Structure 1
Amino acid sequence: MQIVILSDTHMPRMAKKLPRQLITGLERADLILHAGDWQTIEVLEELQQYAPVIGVIGNVDGPELKERLGKKEWIVRNGITIGITHGDGKGGTTEKRALTAFQTDSVDIIVFGHSHIPLLKQVNGITLFNPGSPTDKRRQPQFSYGILQLTETSFELKHVFFEDKS
């Protein structure tokens, strides 16, 4: 199973359309996870044309998205429990807020966004993953999204980096 992981698409403010590099990944996706800051419901609807989408709201998402999505989600696929949150809020770093969101849940992976900074690391046996942004790299050298490859017994997470968001 191949899962595309996104966050901070900020469309249409930061891009009028999904980047070609991202579309290449979406065309192979069995599932799409989005960690918030879509900006509009149209982004969700467009992503659903490629694969089922599970996501959460971020701090810039409007009422239509808030009616359909929560601030926290978790799913189990192939025995791997994945928590999804945006990571915004007060106090601590984005990473710490993501960990706090699932402190009472047993998760293998926490997917979060907000900072636009790609991250893949282990903390107390939990894999933290921030895909970065495919449309708003801020101070990062490249745009990015993530791929989670699940087998029956394991998982592999990686970033896909690219230069041009057109």
Structure 2
Amino acid sequence: MRLLLMGDTHLPKRAGRLPAPLLAELPGADVVFHTGDWVDTATLDLLLSRSRRLIGVYGNNDGPELRARLPEVARADLGGLRFGAVHETGSAQGREARCAARFPDLDVLVFGHSHIPWDTTAPTGLRLLNPGSPTDRRRRPHCTYMTAAVTGGRLTDVELHRLPR
């Protein structure tokens, strides 16, 4: 099972549209995650129309229309792993322990908000992934997104993709 992870798109304000390399990944993805801060409903509608399965949440910059259509926290069982998605997890310091305590029933938590890619594992085994942002790099050198796979009940092939400037 192929996964595509993105978030913090802030469209159309930041980039106007999703980057072509990211859109090219959609047909090969079995599940697409979006960690919030969509800002516009057009991006949600686009991903719904082009994805086999979309797991998304709203972020702090998402208004009433998106909040009416998306949860604050999403959960899904995928290939024998328990996934969750949320926009914000708080500061980097103590993140693993804080998320492990908040989500003891998950194997993988996909999150956003910071626009900073993140891939760590809590002492409990909870894997934390932040794909960064494909449209707003902020102080980072590149815009980013992630791909991964679920194979035999394990998360494999986690890859951070840097987009051209």
The equivalent of 1:43 in structure 2 is 43
- SS of residue matched to 1:54: strand
In 1, the alpha carbon distance for the partners of 2:97 and 2:132 equals 14
In 1, the alpha carbon distance for the partners of 2:116 and 2:103 equals 25
- What TM-score, normalized by structure 2, do the two folds share? 0.89
Instruction: Please tell me the residue identity of whatever aligns with 1:18.
Output: L
Q: Identify if the C-alpha distance between structure 1 residues 88 and 126 changes in structure 2 by more than 3 Å, giving closer, same or farther.
A: closer
The equivalent of 2:129 in structure 1 is 129
1:65 Cα offset (Å):
0.6
Q: How does 1:99-118 map to 2 (within 5 A)?
A: 99-100=98-99, 103-118=102-117
Instruction: Please tell me the residue identity of whatever aligns with 1:10.
Output: H
In 2, the alpha carbon distance for the partners of 1:98 and 1:58 equals 22
1:79 Cα offset (Å):
0.7
- Flag as ranges the 4+ runs of structure 1 deviating above 3 A: 92-95, 97-102
The equivalent of 1:30 in structure 2 is 30
**Post-superposition CA distance 1:8-66 (Å, at most 9, x none):** 00000011111011012112111111110000111110111221211111000011110
The equivalent of 1:140 in structure 2 is 140
Asked if 1:66 is matched to 2:102, the reply is: no
What is the root-mean-square deviation in Å for CA atoms of aligned residues? 2.1
Number of aligned residues: 162
Instruction: Please tell me the residue identity of whatever aligns with 1:111.
Output: V
1:120 Cα offset (Å):
0.7
The equivalent of 1:85 in structure 2 is 86
In 1, the alpha carbon distance for the partners of 2:42 and 2:83 equals 25
- SS of residue matched to 2:60: coil
- SS of residue matched to 1:42: helix
State percent identity of aligned pairs. Answer: 36
1:97 Cα offset (Å):
8.8
